[in-house]
Amino acid sequence: MLKPTLAAFASRFKSNEAARTRLVEFTPSVIKTELLSGLTVALALVPEAVAFAFVAGVHPLVGLYAAFIVGLITALMGGRPGMISGATGALAVVMVALVAQHGVEYLFATVILMGILQILAGVFHLGKFIRLVPHPVMLGFVNGLAIVIFLAQLSQFKVPGTAEASEGIFSGQWLSGLPLFLMLALIGLTMAIIWIMPRITNAFPAPLAGIGIVATIVILFGIDVPRVGDLASIEGSLPPFHIPFDLGGTGETGLYGTLLAPLTLETLYIILPYAVILAAIGLIESLLTLNLVGEITGQRGGASKECVAQGVANTVTGFFGGMGGCAMIGQSMINVKSGGRTRLSGASAALFLLAFILVGSSLIEQIPLAALVGVMFMVVIGTFAWNSLRIMGKIPAMDAFVIVLVTVVTVMTDLAIAVVVGVIVSALAYSWQNATRIWAKSHISPEGAKVYGIEGPLFFGSTDGFSEIFDPQNDPAVVVVDFMNSRVVDQSALQALEDLATRYEAEGKTLQLRHLSRDCHHLLKRAGQLVVDADDDPEYGVAVDYGVRTGSFSGGH
């Protein structure tokens, strides 16, 4: 254990030295690049934060507050410099049900509890379990996310009116005639601008360019289409940095009215399921983004640190009236490709966004909803894994099934449940495939003993097949079971060996086990009479977790 410990220390020391080197080399040129990258990200964050707020059924400032607070805190203490966090569609589509049924005040309480759960996940190093998510599950995850975001945009095609619980912030009749034509035309124009802009220049964020051009056209020509200001007045409707809770549980709302939520067991009963789902979704997206940015920048680790940072950020933003958030893959890619590699770019993006909120809220009200829908449709196109459709006929049928299953469950329920279901199905499929792979080659030795050479792993799923291999009644007096090409994986496998020994003992015959690990030697009750020691016995652990051994679970790895 000493050598790995020293290696880990050396790796950490090198990382610290690299961090010091980057700090020393923080030249004016580097600072300029980081600040410009942060400005680019901030400009692109504004329309998306507002759009995701509409998806969640909350006020635009709730999304902007989340983008600022979550972005700033995760930039300063996150697990990967260069990552960008803020309000996201994956969280928004879950929040809309909570807001519609219980009101926005319960959303803030949920975000705080969500943050606490994420902090605990980081403290207990649960981020490492992201490695258990198979690739087909991830493809289904992103496909389902894209479809959910698309479906959420359909409500924008209704005439803005009085909000109803069943329909979120939109109600009334569907657009038709000229209003519908103008809406579709402006959406198409926004998407075209976003598609063409990167081919002309990368100096300006394409989403912001699309919104800016379309908004300019609408304002200059006085086109009568739904705008952000038609839904609610942003300026002055929510005071920045308030604590939206009735901490005393008295029910007195005071200045902030319905923004207060009593801290009672009933409130906890309402918000806990949503908080668990949001925490899981937020960590899944954040850790996936962590890995993606790490592959580009050549960095590794930081999963637990990122979990804690996301938790702290969401806890704080909940107290200050934000909708919460997580890492944003698209914005992180914009930052990295723009040259942002340090925490300065992420922090400056959040501060630039704050400046936009303080001095530019009246401009946000003039944004046509069609422009936001166009941005979200481009997000859908960029999010959907189109290559998954091309490979459906080339990959194993079970992998294709998992992709479709996770996609459907994501649309029907939520992202966290879909990922859990996908992981469980993938694990069961893997277990079944391995259960059918166990078989044996048999021959008679010169001494007259029958030798079974076991092929394939022996675990809970293959114990029945293992038992059917043997014929105690017709086998000779001495039977040898050779595990050179097999592995005994769990306690069910050990019990299968005990049962096999009992069957041969009942027939008055001798059973010998060869090439078992030292763990098996210790764990088998009849090790003294069954196991034949050899110099080439394998070394692997049975029913142990990373070297943590208790009681009789001991032996080599």
Report whether 516 contacts 532 (CB < 8 A).
no
Per-residue pLDDT tens for 154-188? Answer: 877 877 654 443 444 444 577 788 888 999 999 99
Per-residue pLDDT tens for 375-413? Answer: 888 878 877 888 888 888 888 889 999 999 999 998 887
- Show the low-confidence residues of the chain (pLDDT under 70): 1-25, 160-172, 202-205, 228-261, 360-361, 364, 518-557
The CATH class given to the 437-532 domain equals alpha beta
Report whether 192 contacts 184 (CB < 8 A).
no
Cα(287)–Cα(284) distance, integer angstroms: 5
Cβ-based neighbours of 301, under 8 Å, separated by 6 or more: 79
The confidence score (pLDDT) of residue 315 equals 94
Cα(429)–Cα(19) distance, integer angstroms: 44
Cα(372)–Cα(216) distance, integer angstroms: 14
The confidence score (pLDDT) of residue 504 equals 92
Structure tokens at 221: 């020509």
The confidence score (pLDDT) of residue 206 equals 77
Where do you find CATH 3.30.750.24 in the chain?
437-532
The confidence score (pLDDT) of residue 441 equals 92
Per-residue pLDDT tens for 78-109? Answer: 988 889 999 887 788 788 888 888 888 889 89
Cα(211)–Cα(268) distance, integer angstroms: 40
